[in-house]
Structure 1
């Protein structure tokens, strides 16, 4: 991980913000603190940010609205901080493009582990200009759907699909194992061995978002099929 990774911390609780800023600084992160949603959005415009830690309870605007506006212009990884029990907020946040969430109260070590995980996935997708991308970069085609590992992009009939980095990774893993049922455990193992506990509560929401991007009718999916009690299957649709 680059020691210059710049984290935007969006948190209106000054004591928590100070504690997290010091903790992340000790872990070699550069931290910018924003105490409101508007300040956070302005900070995103002002300079490069590698990841955002976003509290949903802000004084001027809903954190979900901050996430929505952020996603109109940036694919920066977002880790949401939510009040325990606010399941609907977590679901909406993931649907709006957040990469992961952490309920309050939380252990700083868990926040650091999840932050490093989303940054690691982001950094693995970057490569120096002129050099081949890491891993198997062969273009995958399934009818109108194209999945381009080199560009980290998916397209339907040439039109880009709106997916977060994590959602693209899920789609790519499914597509590379087309025709096979993959359990949640198998998906997590294939996704660089990330622990299941961190993502199992959100994977269904991510799958719904992927379906919204790649299916003609997400309510009647033809490409990503749920196999009850077993997992997910990517069908080789040639449309």
Structure 2
């Protein structure tokens, strides 16, 4: 059973989600302040955090920073419809996704499941038509380790969130080929192709910043992205 931590100052939301997610097979722990949420996070072994940006004692962005300083656990932000700047900052700081209040419970559940699949992918099923990915992918000065889901940039371990890792693995697996935006949205982020691709834009910006000049990630306007080794891009 996945353990979920909710940090939100609305106790009624906590009760609602505890009942709803409990019926879906999740164990929810609810905290109404940033400090109690951080204390619970340090004590617990949570698989995902649902974090409100507006908290009574500390900004949710500050909480996110403290979580990211010690953990890569998936974080799903709860935001208001007018908090676009905060959403951008949260994604840049390492949040995996966001959902605007008020939200349908089924949508929250879908976002949670997508984030958990990225962080804890199921074992590959035996399919003779699809060769399993094993070992490492080396593109320019980046090494993507498919077994440990880790990345080396210029020989140094570099932290990528689960969402960023899924994107870079998909780009690296298709090195030198166009990867459509729709494929990245659906395969890497678990969002439908007709959903606003705002989250993808921020994750791509983060990925480029972390990769630096080690590889080239081109935007193919109106279509998608292509990763190549730097010397290939300049050829």
Q: TM-score when scaled to structure 1?
A: 0.87
After superposition, the C-alpha distances for 1:70-94 in whole angstroms (9 at most, x for unaligned) are 0010011111000012111111111
Contact 1:142 1:238 survives alignment (8 Å) = no
Helix, strand or coil at the partner of 1:84: coil
Judge which range, 192-201 or 96-105, deviates more. 192-201
CA distance in 1, matches of 2:183, 2:152: 25
The residue number in structure 1 matching 2:177 is: 180
Aligned to 1:124, the other structure's residue is in SS state coil
**Does the aligned pair in 2 maintain the 1:143–1:237 contact within 8 Å?**
yes
Does the 8 A contact of 1:10 with 1:33 survive in 2?
yes
Q: 1:77 to 1:126 in 2, by over 3 A?
A: farther
Residue 114 (1) aligns with residue 99 (2): no
Give 2:72's match in structure 1, choosing from 61, 75, 100: 75
User: C-alpha separation between the residues in 2 aligned to 1:185 and 1:76?
Assistant: 25
CA contact (8 A) 1:6 1:50 kept: yes
- 1:225 aligns to 2:208 (yes or no): no
Which runs of no fewer than 5 residues in structure 1 stay unpaired? 128-133
Q: Name the CA distance, whole Å, in 1 between partners of 2:196 and 2:149.
A: 21
2:8 is the counterpart of 1:15: no
Of the candidates 66, 86, 94, which is equivalent to residue 63 of structure 2? 66
Distance across 2 between alignment mates of 1:89 and 1:26:
31
TM (norm. structure 2) is 0.89
Write the distance in 2 (CA, Å) between the matches of 1:42 and 1:237.
Answer: 44
Q: Indicate the residue corresponding to 1:28 in structure 2.
A: 25
Q: Is the 8 A contact 1:100 1:199 kept in 2?
A: no
Alignment of 1:38 onto 2:31: no
Backbone CA RMSD of aligned residues: 2.2
Q: Are 1:237 and 2:203 matched, yes or no?
A: no
**Count, aligned residues:** 226
Q: Is the 8 A contact 1:67 1:93 kept in 2?
A: yes
